C-alpha cells in the first residue's frame, strides 16, 4: 500500500516529534478503516487485468470432496477471486489490529506528556495548562503537588523565549529536544527545574529505533552468510564497523594501511 509506505518513511524522519508520529498513525488507521473495501477491490481488478494481459488463467480447479453417508451440507465453492479477496480482508484486518495494539503505548506517552507539547507550551491558556498537568503528576510521584509550579514554569519559559527574540510561530514547531537545548543554552536550569526534568524524562524514554533494528537485521544476514568462511572475531569487528559507519566514513584507510605496513605488527599495540 502506498499509504503504508509513506507512513513508514515519515516515521523514520530524523527529529520528528512523538505527537507527529501518533497523528500520522491515527491517519493511517482511519484510511484502513474507511478504504478497506476499495483497496481490496482495486488490487483484485489490477491483478485480474494483469492476468488477462499475460494470458494467465484465473479459474482454479474445483476439488470435489467425498460426502459421508447422511451428509447434506454442500461446499460453498468459492472462486479464486473470492478466495483471494477473503485472504486480503483477513490480512488488512490483522494489520489494522496490530497497528492499533502497537500504537497504544505511543498514544499513552503522548497523553501523559501532553502538557509539554509545543502547542501547549506556546499557545494554551493558564487554565488549560492546569487541566493538563494532572496526567503527568499522577504517573510520576516526584511531581505530585507541583501542578501550580509546572504551570508557572511554562509561563516563565514563554517570557524567556520572548526575551530571546523567539517568535511563537517559530517555537510552536519545536520539539522537546529544542526546548531543552534552549534551556541549556541560557542556563535556565534553576529557574525551570521541573520543566528540565520533564523534558529529560520524555527524551530518555526507551523506544524502538527503526534504523538500529535494520542494522542488526542486516548484521544477522552478514554473519549467517560469512560465518563459514571467517572467524567470529573478524565477524564481530565487521559488526562494529557497520554500526559505527558514520565514524568509519571519516577514516582514511590508505593512511591506516600504510602505517600498519611500516610498523612491525608483533611489536605494535593495535
Each residue's pLDDT tens digit, 190-208: 999 999 999 999 988 866 5
Instruction: For the chain, give the longest Cα–Cα distance.
Output: 91
What's the pTM? 0.62
Residue 209: pLDDT band with limits 50, 70, 90: very low
Interacting residues of 116 by C-beta distance below 8 A, sequence separation 6+: 176, 179, 195, 198, 199, 202
Q: What are the cell numbers at 140?
A: 510520576
> Residue 69: its pLDDT value, please?
76
pLDDT per position as a tens digit, 105-130 = 888 889 999 999 988 999 999 999 99
The strand ranges marked E within the chain are none
Which cell goes with 9? 518513511
- Whether residue 110 contacts residue 18, with contact meaning beta carbons closer than 8 Å, is answered with yes
Residue among 103, 104, 114 nearest 137 (CA):
114
Percentage of the chain modeled with pLDDT above 90: 35
- What is the tens place of the pLDDT at every residue in 7-40? 888 888 877 778 888 889 999 999 999 998 999 9
What pLDDT does residue 264 have?
Answer: 59
User: What tens digit of pLDDT does each residue of 66-96 get?
Assistant: 777 776 666 566 777 888 888 999 999 998 9
Give, in order, the Cα–Cα distances in Å from 52 to each of 48, 57, 59, 68: 6, 8, 12, 39
pLDDT, tens digit, for every residue of 133-154? 999 999 998 898 899 999 999 9
- DSSP letter string over 115-184? GGSHHHHHT--HHHHHHHTHHHHTT-GGGTT-HHHHHHHHHHHHHHHHHTT--HHHHTT--HHHHHHHHH
C-alpha cell of residue 265: 605488527
- pLDDT(6) > 60: yes
Do 172 and 123 meet the contact criterion of CB atoms below 8 Å apart?
yes
Amino acid at each position: 500500500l502506498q499509504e503504508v509506505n509513506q507512513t513508514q518513511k515519515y516515521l523514520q524522519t530524523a527529529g520528528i516529534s512523538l505527537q507527529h508520529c501518533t497523528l500520522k498513525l491515527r491517519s493511517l488507521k482511519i484510511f484502513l478503516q474507511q478504504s478497506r473495501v476499495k483497496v481490496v477491490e482495486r488490487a483484485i481488478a489490477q491483478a485480474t487485468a494483469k492476468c488477462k494481459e499475460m494470458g494467465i488463467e484465473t479459474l482454479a480447479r474445483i476439488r470435489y470432496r467425498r460426502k459421508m453417508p447422511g451428509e447434506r451440507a454442500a461446499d460453498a465453492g468459492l472462486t479464486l477471486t473470492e478466495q483471494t479477496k477473503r485472504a486480503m480482508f483477513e490480512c488488512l484486518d490483522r494489520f489494522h489490529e496490530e497497528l492499533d495494539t502497537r500504537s497504544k503505548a505511543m498514544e499513552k506517552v503522548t497523553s501523559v506528556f501532553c502538557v509539554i507539547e509545543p502547542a501547549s507550551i506556546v499557545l494554551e491558556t493558564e487554565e488549560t495548562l492546569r487541566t493538563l498537568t494532572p496526567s503527568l503528576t499522577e504517573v510520576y510521584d516526584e511531581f505530585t503537588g507541583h501542578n501550580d509550579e509546572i504551570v508557572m514554569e511554562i509561563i516563565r519559559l514563554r517570557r524567556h523565549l520572548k526575551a530571546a527574540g523567539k517568535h511563537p510561530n517559530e517555537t510552536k514547531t519545536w520539539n522537546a529536544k529544542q526546548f531543552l537545548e534552549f534551556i541549556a543554552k541560557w542556563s535556565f536550569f534553576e529557574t525551570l527545574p521541573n520543566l528540565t526534568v520533564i523534558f529529560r524524562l520524555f527524551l530518555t524514554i526507551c523506544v524502538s529505533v527503526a534504523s538500529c533494528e535494520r542494522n542488526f537485521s542486516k548484521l544477522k544476514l552478514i554473519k549467517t552468510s560469512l560465518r563459514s568462511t571467517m572467524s567470529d572475531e573478524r565477524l564481530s569487528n565487521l559488526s562494529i564497523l557497520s554500526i559505527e559507519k558514520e565514524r568509519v566514513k571519516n577514516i582514511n584507510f590508505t593512511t591506516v594501511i600504510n602505517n600498519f605496513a611500516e610498523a612491525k605488527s608483533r611489536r605494535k599495540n593495535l
